[in-house]
Structure 1
Amino acid sequence: MGRPREPAAGAQQDPENGSRRPTHDPRQGLLPGREPRRPRRAGASRARPPERGKVSRSPASPVPKAGFARLGLGPAVLRAVADAGYRAPRPIQERTIPAVLRGRDVLGLARTGTGKTAAFALPILDRLTERRAPGPRALVLAPTRELAAQIAGEFRTLARGTGLRTATVFGGVPERPQIAALRGQPDVVVACPGRLLDLLGRRLVRLERIETLVLDEADHMFDMGFLPDVRRILAALPARRQNLLFSATMPREIRALADRMLRGPLVVDLTRGGRLETIEHAIVPVEERAKRTALDRLLAEPGFASAIVFTRTKHRARRLAHQLSEAGRRAVALQGNMSQSARGRAMRGFRDRTYEILVATDIAARGIDVPGVSHVINFDMPGTPEAYTHRIGRTGRSGCDGKAYTLATRDDSEMVARVERRLGTPIPRLRTEGAGPGRDRSGPALRSRPRGSRSRGAGKARRSRW
Structure 2
Amino acid sequence: MPFQSFHFHPQVAAGVTAAGYSTPTPIQAQAIPPVMAGRDVMGLAQTGTGKTAAFALPILHRLMEGKRGHVRALIIAPTRELAEQIHGAISSLGEQTRLRSLTVYGGVNINPQIQKLKRGAEIVVACPGRLLDHIRQGTIDLSRLEVLVLDEADQMFDMGFFPDIRRILGHLPAKRQTLLFSATMPAEIRKLSSEVLRDPLTVQVDRVSPATTVSHALYPVAPHLKTDLLLQLLQHTDTGSVLVFTRTKHRAKRLGLQLEKAGYKAASLQGNLSQNRRQAALDGFRDGSFQILVATDIAARGIDVSQVSHVVNYDIPDTPETYIHRIGRTGRAARSGDAFTLVTGEDTAMVRAIEKVLGKAVERRKVAGFDYDQPAPPKQPQAPRAPRPQRQNAKAAPASKPGNGNSRPRRPTGQKRTGSVQAATR
Q: What's the TM-score, normalizing by structure 2?
A: 0.83
Correspondence for 2:221? 286
Correspondence for 2:410? none
The 3-state SS of whatever aligns with 2:216 is strand
Task: After TM superposition, list the pairs within 5 Å mapping 1:51-450 onto structure 2.
Answer: 67-272=2-207, 274-300=209-235, 303-423=238-358, 425-433=360-368, 434=370, 436=372
Q: Which moved more, 1:188-197 or 1:173-182?
A: 173-182
1:273 CA displacement: 5.9
Alpha-carbon separation, structure 2, partners of 1:164 and 1:413: 51
1:108 CA displacement: 0.9
Note if contact 1:325-1:331 (Cα within 8 Å) is conserved in structure 2. yes
Q: Render the CA deviation track for 1:247-278: whole Å, top value 9, x for unaligned.
A: 11111111111122212222111125644323
Note if contact 2:44-2:207 (Cα within 8 Å) is conserved in structure 1. no
Note if contact 1:76-1:161 (Cα within 8 Å) is conserved in structure 2. yes
Aligned amino acid, residue 308 of structure 1 = L
Gap change, CA 1:430 and 1:274, over 3 Å in 2: farther
1:70 CA displacement: 0.8
Note if contact 1:114-1:398 (Cα within 8 Å) is conserved in structure 2. no
Alpha-carbon separation, structure 1, partners of 2:292 and 2:155: 24
Correspondence for 2:399? none
Alpha-carbon separation, structure 1, partners of 2:352 and 2:371: 20
Note if contact 2:209-2:324 (Cα within 8 Å) is conserved in structure 1. no
Aligned amino acid, residue 288 of structure 1 = P
Alpha-carbon separation, structure 1, partners of 2:318 and 2:86: 26
The 3-state SS of whatever aligns with 1:112 is coil
Q: Render the CA deviation track for 1:129-185: whole Å, top value 9, x for unaligned.
A: 133333200000000011101111111111111110001100000011111111122
1:87 CA displacement: 2.3
Note if contact 2:83-2:103 (Cα within 8 Å) is conserved in structure 1. yes
Alpha-carbon separation, structure 2, partners of 1:298 and 1:78: 46
Gap change, CA 1:169 and 1:71, over 3 Å in 2: same
Q: Render the CA deviation track for 1:367-402: whole Å, top value 9, x for unaligned.
A: 321121111101111123332222222222344332
The 3-state SS of whatever aligns with 2:308 is coil
1:424 CA displacement: 5.1
Alpha-carbon separation, structure 2, partners of 1:93 and 1:179: 33
Q: Which runs of 5+ in 1 are unaligned?
A: 1-65, 438-466
Note if contact 1:274-1:424 (Cα within 8 Å) is conserved in structure 2. no
The 3-state SS of whatever aligns with 1:108 is strand
Correspondence for 2:419? none
The 3-state SS of whatever aligns with 1:268 is strand
Note if contact 1:248-1:271 (Cα within 8 Å) is conserved in structure 2. no
1:423 CA displacement: 4.8
The 3-state SS of whatever aligns with 1:419 is helix
Aligned amino acid, residue 366 of structure 1 = R
Residue correspondences, number: 372
Aligned amino acid, residue 234 of structure 1 = L
Note if contact 1:210-1:238 (Cα within 8 Å) is conserved in structure 2. yes
Note if contact 1:166-1:186 (Cα within 8 Å) is conserved in structure 2. yes
The 3-state SS of whatever aligns with 1:240 is coil
Gap change, CA 1:172 and 1:382, over 3 Å in 2: same
Note if contact 2:208-2:321 (Cα within 8 Å) is conserved in structure 1. no
Alpha-carbon separation, structure 2, partners of 1:100 and 1:400: 31
The 3-state SS of whatever aligns with 1:139 is strand
Aligned amino acid, residue 408 of structure 1 = V
1:301 CA displacement: 5.1
Q: Which moved more, 1:229-238 or 1:286-295?
A: 286-295
Correspondence for 2:414? none
1:360 CA displacement: 1.2
Gap change, CA 1:215 and 1:393, over 3 Å in 2: same
1:404 CA displacement: 1.2
Q: Which moved more, 1:155-164 or 1:319-328?
A: 319-328
Correspondence for 1:37? none
Note if contact 2:184-2:207 (Cα within 8 Å) is conserved in structure 1. no
Note if contact 2:210-2:324 (Cα within 8 Å) is conserved in structure 1. no
Alpha-carbon separation, structure 2, partners of 1:104 and 1:388: 32
Note if contact 2:245-2:297 (Cα within 8 Å) is conserved in structure 1. yes
Alpha-carbon separation, structure 1, partners of 2:166 and 2:90: 25
Alpha-carbon separation, structure 2, partners of 1:330 and 1:87: 36
Q: Which moved more, 1:175-184 or 1:301-310?
A: 301-310
Q: Which moved more, 1:105-114 or 1:416-425?
A: 416-425
Gap change, CA 1:296 and 1:92, over 3 Å in 2: same
Alpha-carbon separation, structure 1, partners of 2:303 and 2:279: 12
Gap change, CA 1:155 and 1:206, over 3 Å in 2: same
Alpha-carbon separation, structure 2, partners of 1:226 and 1:337: 18
Q: Which runs of 5+ in 2 are unaligned?
A: 374-426
CA RMSD of aligned residues (A): 1.9
Q: Which moved more, 1:369-378 or 1:264-273?
A: 264-273
Note if contact 1:93-1:116 (Cα within 8 Å) is conserved in structure 2. yes
Aligned amino acid, residue 276 of structure 1 = A
Alpha-carbon separation, structure 2, partners of 1:227 and 1:273: 23
Note if contact 1:290-1:435 (Cα within 8 Å) is conserved in structure 2. no
1:421 CA displacement: 4.0
Alpha-carbon separation, structure 2, partners of 1:76 and 1:332: 39
The 3-state SS of whatever aligns with 2:64 is helix
Alpha-carbon separation, structure 2, partners of 1:436 and 1:265: 54
Alpha-carbon separation, structure 2, partners of 1:268 and 1:319: 41
1:422 CA displacement: 4.7
Alpha-carbon separation, structure 2, partners of 1:173 and 1:213: 24
Note if contact 1:278-1:399 (Cα within 8 Å) is conserved in structure 2. yes
